[in-house]
Amino acid sequence: MTRLRELGHDLIPLEEVRETILRHVDRLPAEEVPLLEAWDRVLAEDLAVKELIPPFDNSAMDGYAVRAGDLEGASPERPVTLRVRGRIQAGDPPGFQLSEAQLPQIGLPQIGHPQIGAAARIMTGAPIPQDADAVVPHELTRFTDTEVTFTAAAASGQNIRRAGGDMKPGEVPVGKGTRLRGPQLAVAAALGLARIKVSRRPRVAIISPGKELVWPGEPAGPGQIRNSNAYALAGLLREGGAAPEVGRIIEDSTHALRREFRRALEGGVDALLTTGGVSAGDYDFVQQVVREDGSPGYVFKAAMRPGKPQVFGVLGGKPLFGLPGNPASAIISFTVFVLPALRKMLGEEPVVPPVFPVRFTSDFSYRGGRTFLLRAAVEPDFEHPGGGFRVRSIGGQDSSFLSSLAAANALIQLPAGRDGVKAGEILPAWWIHPA
Ligand code: AMP
Ligand code: MG
């Protein structure tokens, strides 16, 4: 059933457009992948700790494992010398004992003659002897192969990393919905997981209608321009966690659009993305196809600048994002609408990326009446007492300009009800990509 929301001339706040879109986007199923392939994927299950990490008490230093009690009162004037009873390397099994009784039970190399008041040479990460309670770094001692001399007392527990000090059973160090980067993969590895459940990467077809478009590397005839949007979107999709499938440049016709949509859907994509053909021009066929084939189909006039015309529909059960063709409008629309939709497909939390505060460093005027999405380069502001981020530079804001977008890293949201911002004002921004 085709259900069309013809929204007439009413401008709709971008938040409402986004909520409408998000209602029609579902989370993709999870899949299990080898840990090394899980980088940049979104975790589909909580990582649960089942054992103590680290699994055993171990040394934080290369030094000597001792009983703190044996070093009581040690000072440069009254040094304490202990026998070195063994050497414990990272990878040796726990169980070494400083005290005599247990010595024969373990197969570690024993040096010198057992006696009361002993130490063991120990390496970082090696298991602490059962009866030691401190480690003294070797650079604070004088030592030979058989003896070690201390000139200061030791505190019980010093330089010992306790079993479970990092993670304990029942804890969730990395939660469902987290994007996995190096440190999160390290947690999974430390927990012993060789495979991990992640959301399927959304496969997104990029289709480029426009008689004027040619690929880079091809000669551009009179009246032709390069298809830059396909590259912008391929990059942004990757950064958003999707797998872009760059499709064809096609003529401006409903026939060509339908053919490419069908081809992509038969190929199993999870979403369709077009740029251009959504305004009210004579060759703007994307909105016509969405009106006729979408179930539902929406043609929005979003109360934002740039990016007023927006088309969204569900085609063959998959979301179709019909972004405006102007390069800046396309990229900004992607950030505002498509990125949250991808995050929802991935189960990434929060679905809408959080805004952050940016301080203006000079006055800025803009056309009001619609939310103005200002592309700007922002930078950390250590000079301001409140910290945060400040505007570094603002390039040309024409919706066809690419250069200022390439120089920008943020999109600052300026209210529709005004037409200017004063130096010192703080407004919310999204990252296009982090500083
Ligand atoms: P349209 O909505 O199709 O009229 O496109 C609006 C503007 O965006 C026109 O100047 C188009 O040439 C331009 N445009 C459309 N698609 C692309 C694209 N893939 N790459 C670069 N510019 C484009
Ligand atoms: Mg066009």
Question: Residue 161, SS3?
Answer: strand
- Domain of 305, CATH number, reads 3.40.980.10
Count of beta carbons in the 10 Å neighbourhood of residue 99: 16
Q: Do both 290 and 403 map to the same domain?
A: no
C-alpha 210 – ligand 2 centre gap (Å) = 5
Q: Do both 322 and 207 map to the same domain?
A: yes
Give the residue from 139, 161, 183 where a domain finishes.
Answer: 161
User: Helices marked H in 271-363 — which ranges?
Assistant: 286-293, 327-333, 339-346
Q: The domain containing residue 395 runs over which residues?
A: 356-431
CB under 6 Å to ligand 1: residues?
208, 210, 212-213, 225, 227-230, 275-279, 281, 284, 324-327
Q: Do both 308 and 376 map to the same domain?
A: no
- pTM of this structure: 0.89
Nearest ligand 1 atom to alpha carbon 279:
2
- Domain of 183, CATH number, reads 3.90.105.10
Q: Do both 332 and 206 map to the same domain?
A: yes
- Residue 108: the pLDDT is 53
Q: Do both 329 and 398 map to the same domain?
A: no
C-alpha 212 – ligand 2 centre gap (Å) = 8
Q: Do both 91 and 215 map to the same domain?
A: no
Nearest ligand 1 atom to alpha carbon 209:
16
Nearest ligand 1 atom to alpha carbon 281:
4
Q: Do both 204 and 340 map to the same domain?
A: yes
Residues sharing a CB contact under 8 Å with residue 196, sequence separation 6 or more, in sequence order: 32, 33, 35, 38, 43, 47, 180, 188
- Residue 208: the pLDDT is 98
C-alpha 248 – ligand 1 centre gap (Å) = 14
C-alpha 281 – ligand 1 centre gap (Å) = 12
Question: Residue 266, SS3?
Answer: helix
C-alpha 154 – ligand 2 centre gap (Å) = 76
Q: Do both 34 and 104 map to the same domain?
A: no
Give the residue from 132, 161, 190 where a domain finishes.
Answer: 161
Q: Do both 175 and 248 map to the same domain?
A: no
Q: In this structure, which ligand is nearest to the CA of 214?
A: 1
Write the CA distances from 315 to 262, 274, 318, integer angstroms: 9, 13, 5
Listed residue (266, 316, 265, 320) closest to 288, CA to CA: 320
Output the tens digit of pLDDT for each of the chain's 435 residues: 334 444 446 899 999 999 999 999 999 999 999 999 999 999 999 999 999 999 999 999 999 999 999 999 999 999 999 999 999 999 999 999 998 744 444 555 544 443 458 999 999 999 999 999 999 999 999 999 999 999 999 999 999 999 999 999 999 999 999 999 999 999 999 999 999 999 999 999 999 999 999 999 999 999 999 999 999 999 999 999 999 999 999 999 999 999 999 999 999 999 999 999 998 888 889 999 999 999 999 999 999 999 999 999 999 999 999 999 999 999 999 999 999 999 999 999 999 999 999 999 999 999 999 999 999 999 999 999 999 999 999 999 999 999 999 999 999 999 999 999 999 999 999 999 765
For the chain, what is the domain count? 4
